[in-house]
A = this chain, B = another copy of it.
Amino acid sequence: MASARETELLEAAYRYVLTHGLADVSLRPLAAAIGSSTRVLLYLFGSKDGLVKALLARARADELALLADIGTGPDVVARLWEWLSAPAHRPLLTLWLEAYARSLVEPNGPWAGFARATVEDWLEVLSSAQSEEVRDTPAGLAARTRELALLRGALLDLLATGDEKRVSAALE
């Protein structure tokens, strides 16, 4: 489906939005930065919304790859936090938060459903890390919802303050 040139430019654009944000990106500066032109971006992705959608999907692919990598096993929460708090992942997570907020404000457009999708993705991972006799109980649902809240609230704090010591200590 996607040509070689398309994925190549998508990767370059992805690197660009990781540092510039997705909210007020515009075609001309983006094209100039990645050595392309608006004409080509429009040709390959159909429209700006198409490009944004592709970028969002690209970001989500990173996220899903992580979740698959973490797998199930014990200490999922600790290992997830280790990944979330890694300084190298901060641009990606800032972008993630931006897309999350945007999808709430503007339920239409390319952002649609992004926030809800990630909640489900993560809940499922946390679910598969639970013991079988707990997984399908209300208590199990509450437990993984709480774990998810803890991780994401801590992430919010970390992204704002950068105070990794305090936030990591709060997660035991």
Q: Count the A residues whose beta carbon is within 8 Å of the partner chain — how many?
A: 41
| Contact A105 B98, beta carbon cutoff 8 Å | yes
Stretch in contact with the other chain, from A26-34, A52-60, A161-169: A161-169
Question: Residue A171 at the B interface, CB < 8 A?
Answer: yes
| Contact A116 B160, beta carbon cutoff 8 Å | yes
Across the interface, A23 reaches (CB within 8 A) one of B23, B141, B142, namely B23
Stretch in contact with the other chain, from A62-70, A71-79, A147-155: A147-155
**Chain B: CB-nearest residue to A156:** B152
7 closest pairs, A vs B, by CB?
A149-B153, A153-B153, A145-B170, A115-B160, A21-B105, A152-B153, A101-B101
Residue ranges of A at the interface with B (Cβ–Cβ < 8 Å): 21, 23, 94-95, 97-98, 100-106, 115-116, 118-119, 138, 141-143, 145-146, 148-157, 159-161, 166-167, 169-171
